Amino acid sequence: MTFVDNIQPYQPILEKNIWKDIMKRIVDPKRPISSIILPPRIILTPIIPMRFSTIISEEHAAEIASWVDEKSTTYSTKNNPYEFRLLLRGSRYDFACDTFWNLCNKKGNVVLIIKVKDTDEILGGYNPIGWEKPYSYNYIICDRCFIFH
Protein backbone atom coordinates (compact mmCIF):
# COMPACT_ATOMS: atom_id res chain seq x y z
CA MET A 1 0.00 0.00 0.00
CA THR A 2 1.45 3.38 -0.98
CA PHE A 3 0.97 6.83 0.51
CA VAL A 4 -1.50 7.70 -2.25
CA ASP A 5 -3.59 4.62 -1.41
CA ASN A 6 -4.03 5.96 2.12
CA ILE A 7 -5.57 9.25 0.98
CA GLN A 8 -9.31 9.30 1.42
CA PRO A 9 -11.45 10.95 -1.25
CA TYR A 10 -13.22 14.17 -0.30
CA GLN A 11 -16.71 12.63 -0.39
CA PRO A 12 -16.60 10.93 3.01
CA ILE A 13 -15.33 14.13 4.60
CA LEU A 14 -17.48 16.68 2.77
CA GLU A 15 -21.02 16.52 1.58
CA LYS A 16 -21.07 15.01 -1.93
CA ASN A 17 -22.61 18.03 -3.65
CA ILE A 18 -20.39 20.64 -2.11
CA TRP A 19 -17.71 20.39 -4.79
CA LYS A 20 -20.37 20.89 -7.47
CA ASP A 21 -21.74 23.87 -5.53
CA ILE A 22 -18.28 25.39 -5.24
CA MET A 23 -17.64 25.05 -8.96
CA LYS A 24 -21.08 26.50 -9.84
CA ARG A 25 -20.55 29.37 -7.37
CA ILE A 26 -17.21 30.22 -9.00
CA VAL A 27 -18.96 30.52 -12.36
CA ASP A 28 -21.96 32.41 -10.96
CA PRO A 29 -21.34 34.04 -7.52
CA LYS A 30 -25.05 34.83 -7.10
CA ARG A 31 -26.09 31.18 -7.42
CA PRO A 32 -27.53 29.78 -4.16
CA ILE A 33 -25.75 26.91 -2.48
CA SER A 34 -27.79 23.74 -1.89
CA SER A 35 -25.21 22.00 0.33
CA ILE A 36 -25.33 22.27 4.09
CA ILE A 37 -22.54 24.59 5.13
CA LEU A 38 -21.72 25.03 8.77
CA PRO A 39 -20.82 28.50 10.03
CA PRO A 40 -17.12 29.18 10.49
CA ARG A 41 -15.60 28.03 13.74
CA ILE A 42 -14.80 30.59 16.35
CA ILE A 43 -11.08 30.51 16.96
CA LEU A 44 -10.38 31.34 20.55
CA THR A 45 -7.10 33.06 21.20
CA PRO A 46 -6.06 33.15 24.80
CA ILE A 47 -5.81 36.63 26.22
CA ILE A 48 -2.32 37.00 27.57
CA PRO A 49 -1.90 40.03 29.76
CA MET A 50 0.70 42.35 28.31
CA ARG A 51 3.61 42.70 30.63
CA PHE A 52 4.55 46.33 31.02
CA SER A 53 8.25 45.80 31.67
CA THR A 54 10.61 43.19 33.06
CA ILE A 55 12.33 45.80 35.24
CA ILE A 56 9.72 48.30 36.41
CA SER A 57 6.01 48.06 37.10
CA GLU A 58 3.29 50.41 35.92
CA GLU A 59 3.33 51.88 39.42
CA HIS A 60 7.06 52.66 39.06
CA ALA A 61 6.36 54.30 35.68
CA ALA A 62 3.60 56.44 37.21
CA GLU A 63 5.91 57.53 40.01
CA ILE A 64 8.73 58.39 37.59
CA ALA A 65 6.22 60.36 35.48
CA SER A 66 5.28 62.33 38.61
CA TRP A 67 8.96 63.16 39.17
CA VAL A 68 9.28 64.28 35.53
CA ASP A 69 6.37 66.69 36.02
CA GLU A 70 7.68 67.72 39.46
CA LYS A 71 4.36 66.80 41.05
CA SER A 72 4.02 66.51 44.79
CA THR A 73 1.57 63.61 44.42
CA THR A 74 2.15 60.46 42.38
CA TYR A 75 0.15 59.76 39.25
CA SER A 76 -1.97 56.64 39.33
CA THR A 77 -1.43 53.97 36.68
CA LYS A 78 -4.71 55.10 35.08
CA ASN A 79 -3.81 58.78 34.71
CA ASN A 80 -0.12 58.52 33.78
CA PRO A 81 0.22 61.03 30.91
CA TYR A 82 3.33 59.39 29.47
CA GLU A 83 3.91 56.36 27.29
CA PHE A 84 7.11 54.56 28.19
CA ARG A 85 8.60 52.93 25.08
CA LEU A 86 11.58 50.63 25.12
CA LEU A 87 14.37 51.95 22.89
CA LEU A 88 17.16 49.61 23.88
CA ARG A 89 17.64 46.52 26.01
CA GLY A 90 20.88 44.78 26.79
CA SER A 91 23.27 43.48 29.39
CA ARG A 92 26.87 44.42 29.99
CA TYR A 93 27.85 41.51 27.77
CA ASP A 94 25.77 42.44 24.74
CA PHE A 95 25.35 46.18 25.22
CA ALA A 96 27.16 48.33 22.67
CA CYS A 97 27.72 52.01 23.43
CA ASP A 98 27.40 52.86 19.75
CA THR A 99 23.92 51.33 19.72
CA PHE A 100 22.94 53.55 22.66
CA TRP A 101 24.26 56.66 20.92
CA ASN A 102 22.57 55.77 17.62
CA LEU A 103 19.21 55.49 19.37
CA CYS A 104 19.48 58.19 22.05
CA ASN A 105 21.79 60.89 20.67
CA LYS A 106 19.99 64.26 20.75
CA LYS A 107 16.73 62.61 21.86
CA GLY A 108 15.02 64.49 24.66
CA ASN A 109 12.72 63.29 27.41
CA VAL A 110 14.55 60.00 27.90
CA VAL A 111 14.23 57.88 31.03
CA LEU A 112 17.13 55.50 31.50
CA ILE A 113 16.49 52.49 33.74
CA ILE A 114 19.14 50.01 34.86
CA LYS A 115 18.63 46.87 36.95
CA VAL A 116 21.59 45.73 38.99
CA LYS A 117 22.25 42.05 38.29
CA ASP A 118 21.26 39.54 40.99
CA THR A 119 19.51 42.24 43.04
CA ASP A 120 16.19 44.06 43.05
CA GLU A 121 18.01 47.40 42.84
CA ILE A 122 16.94 49.76 40.08
CA LEU A 123 18.93 52.82 39.06
CA GLY A 124 18.00 55.41 36.53
CA GLY A 125 17.69 58.95 35.44
CA TYR A 126 15.73 61.40 33.37
CA ASN A 127 17.10 63.79 30.76
CA PRO A 128 14.65 66.26 29.18
CA ILE A 129 17.21 67.95 26.90
CA GLY A 130 18.86 64.89 25.41
CA TRP A 131 22.34 63.48 25.33
CA GLU A 132 24.96 64.55 22.86
CA LYS A 133 27.65 62.14 21.83
CA PRO A 134 30.75 63.39 23.62
CA TYR A 135 32.84 64.73 20.77
CA SER A 136 33.86 67.46 23.15
CA TYR A 137 33.45 67.76 26.86
CA ASN A 138 30.98 70.63 26.88
CA TYR A 139 28.49 70.32 29.69
CA ILE A 140 24.94 71.60 29.52
CA ILE A 141 23.32 72.56 32.78
CA CYS A 142 19.73 71.45 33.26
CA ASP A 143 17.78 71.82 36.48
CA ARG A 144 15.12 69.32 35.37
CA CYS A 145 17.49 66.33 34.96
CA PHE A 146 17.54 63.83 37.83
CA ILE A 147 18.88 60.45 38.81
CA PHE A 148 17.22 57.90 41.12
CA HIS A 149 17.93 54.65 42.90
**List of long-range contacts for 139-147, beta carbons under 8 Å, 24+ apart:** 144/70, 146/67, 147/123
With CA atoms as reference, report the closest residue to 33 among 48, 20, 50: 20
Say how far apart CA 76 and CA 71 lie, in whole Å: 12
Residue pLDDT, tens place only, 37-71: 666 667 666 665 556 688 888 899 999 999 999 99
Type of residue found at 40: P
Percent of the chain with pLDDT over 70: 73
- pTM reported for the whole predicted model: 0.59
Please check whether residue 126 is in contact with residue 146, taking contact to mean a CB–CB distance below 8 angstroms.
yes
Number of other CB atoms surrounding residue 67 within 10 Å:
15
